[in-house]
Amino acid sequence: MKGVVFNILEDMVTEKGGLMMWQKVIDKAGVEGGYTAVSTYSDDELFSIVGAVVAELDLPAETVISAFGTYMFGQLASRYPVFVDSCDDLFSFLESIDSVIHLEVKKLLTETNLPSISCERVGDDQLVMDYRSPRRLCVLAEGLIYGAAEHYQRPIMIEHPVCMHKGSDHCDIRVQLTHE
Ligand code: ZN
């Protein structure tokens, strides 16, 4: 995983809990910290830090990972506006992830270990995203989708009826626009 992901996690933890909290988390995870945005670090290192945050906050892992995804989307969109500049609505953005956005991610961050995502619209208000990745980070994907919905100011609801964590070979993430 790229250092920028670690940098964003550090920003989130520091923003919510202060510098002491980040130091505590780093110590608990048994890692050194000090990540460079474009360098690559092991996924396990990221998971150790996330595990330490989960233990520190005493929250379910899914809650923390999803919140991190939402926070990460906003950060990525402001650090790399090119990711969101090409689309002006939520569904076209989500549909362009596999073909357009991930190419930009590969170019800017040389990250190649990305999930494969294909989308199918069901009527005007629902998009079903077929998520496949050996990392099985579908909860992070959900958080990122919530972040995208905030960015495009479209309230959504997500259902996740088919999941790799429940024995399927992929996840179905159903994104439903809500009209509040
Ligand atoms: Zn899943």
Task: Tell me how far the alpha carbon of residue 140 lies from the centroid of ligand 1, in angstroms.
Answer: 10
Residues 52 and 85 in one domain: no
> Residue 156 is inside which H or E element, if any?
strand 156-162
Residues 35 and 90 in one domain: no
Residues 49 and 133 in one domain: no
pLDDT at 112: 81
Residues 55 and 86 in one domain: no
Residues 91 and 169 in one domain: yes
Residues 89 and 133 in one domain: yes
Task: Tell me how far the alpha carbon of residue 72 lies from the centroid of ligand 1, in angstroms.
Answer: 19
pLDDT at 70: 97
Task: Tell me how far the alpha carbon of residue 60 lies from the centroid of ligand 1, in angstroms.
Answer: 16
Residues 157 and 87 in one domain: yes
SS3 content of the chain, % helix, strand, coil (to 5): 55, 15, 25
pLDDT at 86: 84
> Residue 123 class from Cβ within 10 Å (0-12 exposed, 13-18 middle, 19+ buried)?
exposed
Task: Tell me how far the alpha carbon of residue 47 lies from the centroid of ligand 1, in angstroms.
Answer: 17
Residues 44 and 96 in one domain: no
pLDDT at 108: 84
**Single-letter amino acid code for the residue at 165:** H
Task: Tell me how far the alpha carbon of residue 105 lies from the centroid of ligand 1, in angstroms.
Answer: 22
Task: Tell me how far the alpha carbon of residue 46 lies from the centroid of ligand 1, in angstroms.
Answer: 19
Q: Does residue 69 lie within any of the structural domains?
A: no
pLDDT at 110: 83
Residues 88 and 173 in one domain: yes
Residues 89 and 136 in one domain: yes
Domain count, the chain: 2
CATH label of the domain that carries residue 142: 3.90.1520.10
pLDDT at 107: 86
Q: Does residue 76 lie within any of the structural domains?
A: no
Residues 25 and 98 in one domain: no
Q: Model's pTM, two decimal places?
A: 0.93
Q: pLDDT tens string for the chain (180 positions)?
A: 899 999 999 999 999 999 999 999 999 999 999 999 989 999 999 999 999 999 998 899 999 999 999 999 999 999 999 889 889 899 999 999 998 889 888 888 888 889 999 999 999 999 999 999 999 999 999 999 999 999 999 999 999 999 999 999 999 999 999 987
Task: Tell me how far the alpha carbon of residue 158 lies from the centroid of ligand 1, in angstroms.
Answer: 12
Q: Does residue 42 lie within any of the structural domains?
A: yes
Task: Tell me how far the alpha carbon of residue 102 lies from the centroid of ligand 1, in angstroms.
Answer: 20
Structural domain containing residue 54:
3-59
Q: Does residue 145 lie within any of the structural domains?
A: yes
Task: Tell me how far the alpha carbon of residue 56 lies from the centroid of ligand 1, in angstroms.
Answer: 25
CA–CA distance, 161 with 142 (Å, rounded to integer): 13
pLDDT at 113: 87
Task: Tell me how far the alpha carbon of residue 54 lies from the centroid of ligand 1, in angstroms.
Answer: 19
Q: Does residue 75 lie within any of the structural domains?
A: no
Residues 103 and 173 in one domain: yes
